[in-house]
């Protein structure tokens, strides 16, 4: 099977006039048509809008202009990123019929870079889930095995890249929602430092944790996308007003002289085949000139408990705006209180309701200090633990997920077991630090294994340097069962 053409190569050929953006788009639309029924990566394929964008790119090239570094490259957008005049549902019934009056900043930056937005991808409802099974619009399936989950909450974006529906995609990562599905689908997924990518136009789940980041088929393509979306945004009050690390130019710099720490706590609950891949990646980094040692950060074991107090608390506040009055679903009733209740009862799914109730409880009078504020103190301890580790190491290494992709339905009725799917990824969100998942061969069941690289704030350049070396040493991974279609 022919591998899909990398985004870097596609953009270069479109900019040089060697390839038409319209032809690239039509090829990917055909791949979607052939495989989408089996995968269900999208809530909406925006074919007409994408064709208009592709024609504009070709017109710019024909006029001698430069459309930008992502010229003609199709990009899939997670359905919690606002798109002007195009439905944005967060895979929830409660946003039925809502078309935002503005674009998210990352959507604007993609257009400015010449990218072609190809559709809105399926996700766990309001990004609350680890398997894309909580979507109101059906489950997304893993292209490597359609009986398995793609991970979540950005499962549609990960599956779209893995299946060749789009070379690039954007997701959001609140507790691992980019890196976890990237690992399970065998693609690259990266969570940036909090504040380096604008959250303006991202429908909020937990505002102190959410970050937008790239999915790609390779480390280089992920770097290309990160460089396009990063940077200060005055529309986002949490955006860092300082230069964002540029990463595409450092991919060949290697790891000679770096210190890589194997984060032992992340390996404790990992399946043997996943742990073995992490150790193999460590050996590859050592062979490439890095100093590798084991590092303990005991505080990360508290991450899951702290996260499931902080994130639901913020979610209960953010989701209070969905009241049936201003936008989205409205279920009529005899008075305002009954209308609010009926709308939220019918509009929200079970997992969202569970987290709203948990969050409301931990923020309530008499319980906030015992639960929410205590979780914030634990968060500080995690940050301090990482700071100690990074005083010795340039980056940390561990598994992205404890296991390979699990069967659809296997954990949906057991919330605690489902929450454990994010145990390796949550600590970076609590600290606000960047992390990247890189495919590293198959597990014993033949499904993808992802290894995770973690770094201190604003260390994206270093992470991508190391990720490129890891990628170069990775064992081969079988192509997805759902056809990837090959290059345009």
Q: Has residue 162 been placed in a domain? A: yes
Over residues 224-268, the pLDDT tens digits come to: 999 999 999 999 999 999 988 889 999 999 999 999 999 999 999
Q: Determine the structural domain holding residue 107 and report its residue range.
A: 7-257+463-473
Whether 207 is in a domain gets the answer yes
Closest C-alpha among 351, 375, 345 to residue 363: 375
Determine how β-strand 74-78 pairs with β-strand 259-263.
unpaired
Q: Is residue 98 part of a domain?
A: yes
**What pLDDT sits at residue 326?**
87
Tokens of 167: 């070379």
Write down the pLDDT at residue 79.
Answer: 98
Mean pLDDT of the chain: 96
Distance CA(60)–CA(308), nearest Å, equals 48
pLDDT at 484 over 70: no
Pick from 401, 421, 426: which is nearest to 308 by CA? Answer: 426
Q: For 9-38, b where at least 16 C-beta lie within 10 A, e where not — what string?
A: bbbebbbeeebbbbebbbbbbebbeebbee
| Class of residue 429 by CB neighbours under 10 A (exposed 0-12, middle 13-18, buried 19+) | buried
Question: pTM for the full model?
Answer: 0.97
What's the Cα-to-Cα distance from 302 to each of 265, 287, 383, 398, rounded to whole Å?
A: 11, 33, 12, 17
Contact, 277 vs 443, CB < 8 A?
yes
Q: Is position 404 within any domain?
A: no
Q: Give the other-Cβ count within 10 Å of 223's Cβ.
A: 29
Q: What CATH number does residue 235 fall under? A: 3.90.1300.10
Token pair, residue 420, equals 């454990």
Query: What is the spatial distance between Cα 447 and Cα 477, in angstroms, rounded to a whole number?
Result: 8
Q: In what order do the strands lie in the sheet with 395-399?
A: 42-45, 116-121, 74-78, 168-173, 211-216, 188-191, 435-442, 448-454, 395-399, 259-263, 291-295
pLDDT at position 1 over 80: no
Domains in the chain, number: 1
Please identify every residue annotated as catalytic. 78, 153, 177
Q: Which of 51, 109, 38, 31 is nearest to 77 (CA)?
A: 109
119 inside domain: yes
User: Over 70: is that where the pLDDT of 104 sits?
Assistant: yes
- Per-residue model confidence as pLDDT tens digits over 27-46: 999 999 999 999 999 999 99
Q: How many CB atoms lie within 10 A of CB 464?
A: 29
Closest to 386 in 3D by CA, of 334, 442, 429: 429
User: Is the confidence at residue 3, as pLDDT, over 80?
Assistant: no
pLDDT bin (cut points 50, 70, 90) of residue 487 is confident
On the question of pLDDT at 372 being above 90, the answer is yes
Q: Compare 70 and 1 and report the one with higher pLDDT.
A: 70
Question: What pLDDT was estimated at residue 4?
Answer: 82
Please name the residues in contact with 338: beta carbons below 8 A apart, sequence gap of 6 or more.
Answer: none
What is the SS3 string spanning the chain?
CCCCCCHHHHHHHHHCCCCCHHHHHHHHHHHHHHHHHHHCCEEEECHHHHHHHHHHHHHHHHCCCCCCCCCCCEEEEECCECECCECCCCCCHHHCCCCCCCCCHHHHHHHHCCCEEEEEECCCHHHCCCCCCCCCCCCCCECCECCECCCCCCHHHHHHHHCCCCCEEEEEECCCCCHHHHHHHCCEEEECCCCCECCCCECCCCCCCCEEEEEECCHHHHHHHHHHHECCCCCCCCCCCCCCCCCHHHCCCCCCCCEEEEEHHHHCCCCHHHHHHHHHHHHHHHHCCCEEEEECCHHHHHHHHHHHHHHHHHHHHHHHHCCCCCCCCCCCCCCHHHHHHHHHHHHCCHHHHHHHHHHHHHCCCCCCCCCHHHHHHHHHHHHHHHHHHHCCCCEEEEECCCCCCCECCCCCCCHHHHHHHHCCCHHHHHHCCCEEEEEEEECCCCCEEEEEEECCCCCHHHHHHHHHHHHHHCCCCCCCCCCCCCCC
**What pLDDT, in 10s, does the model give residues 297-340?**
999 999 999 999 999 999 999 999 999 998 899 999 999 999 99
List all residues 6 or more positions away from 48 whose beta carbon is below 8 Å from its beta carbon.
none
Q: What tens digit of pLDDT does each residue of 110-150 get?
A: 999 999 999 999 999 999 999 999 999 999 999 999 999 99
The rounded distance, in Å, linking the Cα atoms of 199 and 207 is 9
pLDDT tens by residue, 72-86: 999 999 999 999 999
Q: Is residue 252 part of a domain?
A: yes
Q: How far is CA 218 from CA 28, 62, 436, in A?
A: 18, 29, 12
Percentage of the residues of the chain whose pLDDT score is greater than 90: 95
Residue 84 lies in a domain: yes
pLDDT mean over 424-430: 98
The pLDDT of residue 481 = 87
**63 domain residue, yes or no:** yes
């Amino acid at each position: 099977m022919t591998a899909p053409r990398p985004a870097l190569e596609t953009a270069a050929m479109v900019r040089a006039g060697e390839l038409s953006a319209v032809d690239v788009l039509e090829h990917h639309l055909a791949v979607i048509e052939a495989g989408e029924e089996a995968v269900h990566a999208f809530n909406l394929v925006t074919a007409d809008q994408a064709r208009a964008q592709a024609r504009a790119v070709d017109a710019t090239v024909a006029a001698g202009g430069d459309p930008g570094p992502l010229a003609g490259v199709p990009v899939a957008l997670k359905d919690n990123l606002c798109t002007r005049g195009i439905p944005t549902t967060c895979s929830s019934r409660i946003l039925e019929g809502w078309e935002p009056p503005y674009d998210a900043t990352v959507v604007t930056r993609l257009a400015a870079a010449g990218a072609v937005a190809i559709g809105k991808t399926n996700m766990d409802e309001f990004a609350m889930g680890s398997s894309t099974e909580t979507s109101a619009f059906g489950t997304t399936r893993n292209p490597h095995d359609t009986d398995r989950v793609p991970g979540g909450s950005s499962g549609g974006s990960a599956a779209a890249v893995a299946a060749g529906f789009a070379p690039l995609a954007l997701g959001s990562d609140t507790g691992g929602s980019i890196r976890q599905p990237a690992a399970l689908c065998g693609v690259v997924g990266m969570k940036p430092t909090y504040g380096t990518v604008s959250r303006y136009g991202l429908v909020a789940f937990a505002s102190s944790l959410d970050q937008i980041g790239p999915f790609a088929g390779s480390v280089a393509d992920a770097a290309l996308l990160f460089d396009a979306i990063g940077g200060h945004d005055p529309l986002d009050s949490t955006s860092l007003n300082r230069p964002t690390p540029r990463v595409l130019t450092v991919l060949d710099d290697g790891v000679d002289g770096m210190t890589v720490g194997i984060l032992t706590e992340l390996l404790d609950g990992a399946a043997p085949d996943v742990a073995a891949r992490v150790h193999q990646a460590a050996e590859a980094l050592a062979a490439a000139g890095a100093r590798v040692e084991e590092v303990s950060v005991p505080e990360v074991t508290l991450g899951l408990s702290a996260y499931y107090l902080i994130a639901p608390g913020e979610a209960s506040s953010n989701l209070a705006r969905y009241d049936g009055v201003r936008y989205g679903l409205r279920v009529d009733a005899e008075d305002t209180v009954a209308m609010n209740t009926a709308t939220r009862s019918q509009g929200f799914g079970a997992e969202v309701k569970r987290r709203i109730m948990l969050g409301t409880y931990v923020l309530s009078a008499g319980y906030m200090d015992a639960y929410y504020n205590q979780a914030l103190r634990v968060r500080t301890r995690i940050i301090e633990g990482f700071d100690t580790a990074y005083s010795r190491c340039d980056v940390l290494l561990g598994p992205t997920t404890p296991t390979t992709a699990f069967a659809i339905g296997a954990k949906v009725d057991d919330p605690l077991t489902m929450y454990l799917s994010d145990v390796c990824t949550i600590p970076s969100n609590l600290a606000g630090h960047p992390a990247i998942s890189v495919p590293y061969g198959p597990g014993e069941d033949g499904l993808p294994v992802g290894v995770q690289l973690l770094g201190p704030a604003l260390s994206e350049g270093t992470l991508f340097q190391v990720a490129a070396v890891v990628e170069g040493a990775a064992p081969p991974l079988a192509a997805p069962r759902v056809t990837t279609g090959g290059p345009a």
